[in-house]
Chain A
Amino acid sequence: MNVQVAPVEGSVGIRRPALRISSVCKRFGSLIANDDVSFTLEAGQVLALLGENGAGKTTLMNILFGHYVADSGAIEIGGASLSPGSPQAALRAGIGMVHQHFALADNLSVAENIIIGTESLLLPWHRAKAKEKILDIARRYGLALDPDALVRDISVGERQRVEIVKALYRDARILVLDEPTAVLTPQEAEALFATLRILVSNGVAVIFISHKLREVLSVADKIIVMRQGKVVAERRASETSREELAELMVGRKVAFPDRKPVSVGPAVLRLDGIVLRQGGNRPHVLDGVNLEVRQHEILGIAGIAGNGQAALADIACGVLAPSEGLIHLSGDPVRSDPSEFVKRGVARIPEDRHATGLIPDMSVWENVVAERYRSEAFAVAGLQRVGAARKYAELVIAQFDVRGAAPNTSAKQLSGGNMQKLILGRTLLQDPGVIVATQPTRGLDIGAVAYVHRKLLEARDRGAGILLISEDIDELFSLSDRIAVMFRGSLSSPVRTETLSLQELGLRMAGQNSTGGR
């Protein structure tokens, strides 16, 4: 544990790059995560690392931070080489990292989360002084936070600010932000960019990992594009365009799918007067929801998170039984039972890939048959037909282009986009009549988003009825045939997408229903 690091030279003097990464390679088994990656970063510069999921951005940053050890290659900070595999050495060299999944302890206070590791374990600590320093940093960089609040009680945006202050508290000179805007509202993202500008003007170097092209272009000075572990391009932000970056990232032109008009068929999923009560005298989660999804149709459900969408999705795939109301599949009333729904051809694309989509610790083949492991195709006389399941897994992997997966790989080793492809593959290969998709592209990069959209549209063209619940307005407009809005457990009557304006949708999402407006 006792790792020595050469002292980092002061920023005064000859202008050395703050960070130099030379020929870094890293393999995980047969997967080459980083292949001869080299670049430099100057102090006071924002460098954007752009790339699809699985391009090797996060692996590279984990090497920089000492979570992984590179197989070969070197990292220099301010001219001194960084000893590999030691987060302590990275911290001492002035690297601060804001992970995509925050590294905070929920039951400890904001101040405790920031201070941890900075004071000698055996001496009594200076609480007041530490708090003063936190507030000082917060003021200087415009990062509002309350040091005494418990982390579990604060919002996602605030948690991110805690992570940034944590890095600055240790005098970080290089700040790494991994997908920082994925969890932020547009307003919070804007505030983050303002903070970054103050940091950069103070000589901090920032590495900004993202796949959102618009953000990258507005915030970065230099852009490094990675694909399949390699650096494929280096551009100045002023000399490139969204189109060029998209093509570099994916390696080909990205074709966003078109929604062709198709005439709809009979209703495949119908909800009648669905009410879901919660305990006590709190308002109903769902308050008399009626909806109808027909063949060859995508019904989009818009709404701000927490207005009952999650419950609606669970009810529509039989996971949750409503307190009142009836569910019909292809005209027959059904009782709420997930396996019955699967048998009747309801495909589920859940909101949280890790928690309810896949079982991360189990293998790909086990996950692929998870919904149907007792069906005749995969079980005989109580015995699992492992061979058939593996073959099916291989089919899903091949047809849905799941990268980095073999039937025996454990699901947690896949990137988010590839997990989603696996989930799509296992249900769509069954040619489902109804698809309930909740936030199907959340956290995915453009290549994967286009892919998921294309697959959903293909399913619609084949005759499936799709209930698409999303918080992404662009997604709803480009996929849905009709759009309805959830607000406080009630669903507005659906409107044809062509006749709906963005402004009207926004008003409805805020609960200001222009009655009868079409």
Chain B
Amino acid sequence: MSSTLDVVLTASFWAATLRICAPLLFGTLGELICERAGVLNLGIEGIMTAGALSGWLTVYYGADLWTGVCVAALVGAIFGLLHGFLTVPLGLSQHVTGIGISLLGASLSYFSFRLLIASTATPTIKPFSAVRVPLLADIPLVGPVLFEQSPLVYLAFSLAIAVSYILYRTPLGLAVRMVGENAMAADAQGVSVVGIRMAAVVVGSAIMAIGGAFLTLSAFNAFFVNLVNGRGWICIALVVFSSWKPARAIVASLFFASLEALQIRLQQGSGGLPYQFFLMLPYLLSIVALIAVARRVSGPQSLMVPFRRGER
């Protein structure tokens, strides 16, 4: 047990936690925006994969890293537009549509990757390098953890604060929450339910896709099959774990990321126990945490309720 404590007290452990946290935070925020407006977006896994590939390809073909991020967001937005169109104006089942989008996004990405990159070796790109924030990075222990990270890490955390501000402090945010709570009531007050929901799904999907792009542009430098590896599904659980609140989304994704970072370090130092046990650990503990937390929370009241005017 003391070895676990030693691991947790190192700066490198916390720096790794933030790195692992960033893509999860993007995904969680994206999903949270969709769900606050009343649309479950199960397409997240596929949208993250599509974002990962499109961002990476853009950079691979010579554009700079930020262009890659923007292209990933755009591709995410297009998938969001598709999911939104099917679930909002057409009112199709959000589960079925979401799973369809997820399969489409992932399969299309792997297919395009194979078409475009013929070599069996895994080509890499030059990823985002860490940006040292002057002065702040020199603070002992905290400095290297918080202020010597990839710019996308800063973006993820700033985004969480921005989403929180917009949701709770602007009329736009109120409209999003109202549409997710009681679409009929919002409609009766002249808020365009379809417009708000479509916008939320498009923006949310774009943010998820940036989460995917983080993996290729800042973490692995390459694209490969099964790259996203269930992070999208974890984000859906993290939204519940964070009670649909952006500020708590930071806590939730940090919690999961820290378990993941710990798990990697325990694997290295363990004698005897099979490594699969450690791989399992974050998921197992997340389920325990969900049971403890999620029983008390209630989500947006109109989540997964399609809106049709005039229906009793």
> Residues of A with Cβ closer than 8 Å to B?
1, 62, 65, 67-68, 87-88, 91-92, 97, 99, 103-108, 112-113, 115-125, 166, 412-413
Contact = CB atoms under 8 A, between A and B. Distances in A.
A62 B301 contact: no
A65 B185 contact: no
Contacts of B171: 115-116, 119-123, 125
B187 A112 contact: no
Interface stretch (B19-27, B71-79, B174-182): B174-182
A65 B187 CA distance: 11
Contact of A116 (B191, B301, B312): B191
B239 to A, nearest CB: 16
A326 B188 CA distance: 51
B177 A166 contact: no
B123 interface: no
B195 interface: yes
Contacts of B181: 105-108
Given A65-B188, A91-B189, A103-B188, A412 B175 contact: no
B184 interface: yes
A93 to B, nearest CB: 12
B62 interface: no
Nearest to B309: A67
Interface of B: 169-172, 174-175, 177-178, 181-182, 184-192, 194-195, 298, 300-301, 309-310, 312
20 contacts: A1-B192, A1-B194, A68-B310, A87-B190, A88-B190, A99-B188, A103-B185, A103-B188, A104-B182, A104-B185, A105-B177, A105-B181, A105-B182, A105-B186, A108-B174, A116-B174, A116-B178, A116-B191, A119-B171, A125-B171
A211 to B, nearest CB: 19
Nearest to A120: B171
B177 A117 contact: no
Contacts of B309: 67
B155 to A, nearest CB: 22
Contact of A105 (B298, B301, B310): B301
Which residue among A92, A112, A120, A413 has the maximum number of chain B CB atoms within 10 Å of its CB?
A112
Given A117-B190, A121-B171, A103 B182 contact: yes
Contacts of B191: 116-117
B178 A166 contact: no
Nearest to A88: B190
B301 A107 contact: yes
Contact of A125 (B170, B185, B192, B194): B170
A412 B169 CA distance: 38
B105 to A, nearest CB: 29
Contacts of A112: 174, 177-178
B248 to A, nearest CB: 15
Closest 8 CB pairs of A and B: A105-B181, A117-B189, A103-B185, A88-B190, A105-B182, A119-B171, A121-B172, A117-B190
B189 A116 contact: yes
Contacts of A91: 189-190
B174 A115 contact: yes
A316 B167 CA distance: 48
A67 B184 CA distance: 10
Nearest to B191: A117
Contacts of B312: 412-413
Contact of B188 (A87, A119, A123, A413): A87
B52 to A, nearest CB: 32
| Interface-centre pick from A88, A91, A121 (highest chain B CB count, 10 A) | A121
B127 to A, nearest CB: 35
A97 B188 CA distance: 9
A87 B185 CA distance: 11
Nearest to A99: B188
A280 to B, nearest CB: 16
Contacts of B182: 103-106
A122 B175 contact: no
A413 to B, nearest CB: 7
Contacts of A103: 182, 184-185, 188-189
Contacts of A115: 171, 174
B177 A108 contact: yes
B66 to A, nearest CB: 25
B184 A116 contact: no
A113 B300 CA distance: 15
Given A103-B189, A108-B181, 13 more contacts: A67-B188, A87-B188, A97-B188, A99-B188, A103-B182, A103-B185, A105-B177, A105-B186, A107-B177, A107-B298, A107-B301, A116-B186, A116-B191
Contacts of B184: 103
A124 B170 contact: yes
Nearest to A121: B172
A105 B178 contact: yes
Given A1-B192, A116-B191, A123-B171, A67 B186 contact: no
A121 B174 CA distance: 9
A305 B66 CA distance: 63
A149 to B, nearest CB: 15
Contacts of B298: 107
Contacts of A65: 188
Contacts of A62: 310
A145 B186 CA distance: 21
Nearest to B298: A107
A13 B256 CA distance: 68
A317 B195 CA distance: 47
Nearest to A2: B192
Contacts of B301: 105-107
A98 to B, nearest CB: 10
Contacts of A1: 192, 194-195
Contacts of A122: 171-172
Contacts of B188: 65, 67, 87, 97, 99, 103
A352 B185 CA distance: 22
B88 to A, nearest CB: 13
Contacts of A92: 190
Contacts of B186: 105, 116-117
A113 B169 CA distance: 14
A1 to B, nearest CB: 5
Given A107-B181, A116-B178, A67 B170 contact: no
A257 B186 CA distance: 45
A122 B188 CA distance: 20
B68 to A, nearest CB: 29
B163 to A, nearest CB: 15
A121 B175 CA distance: 8
Nearest to B177: A108
A355 B298 CA distance: 20
A103 B191 CA distance: 13
B9 to A, nearest CB: 40
A508 to B, nearest CB: 38
A418 to B, nearest CB: 13
Contacts of B169: 124-125
Contacts of B185: 103-105, 113, 116
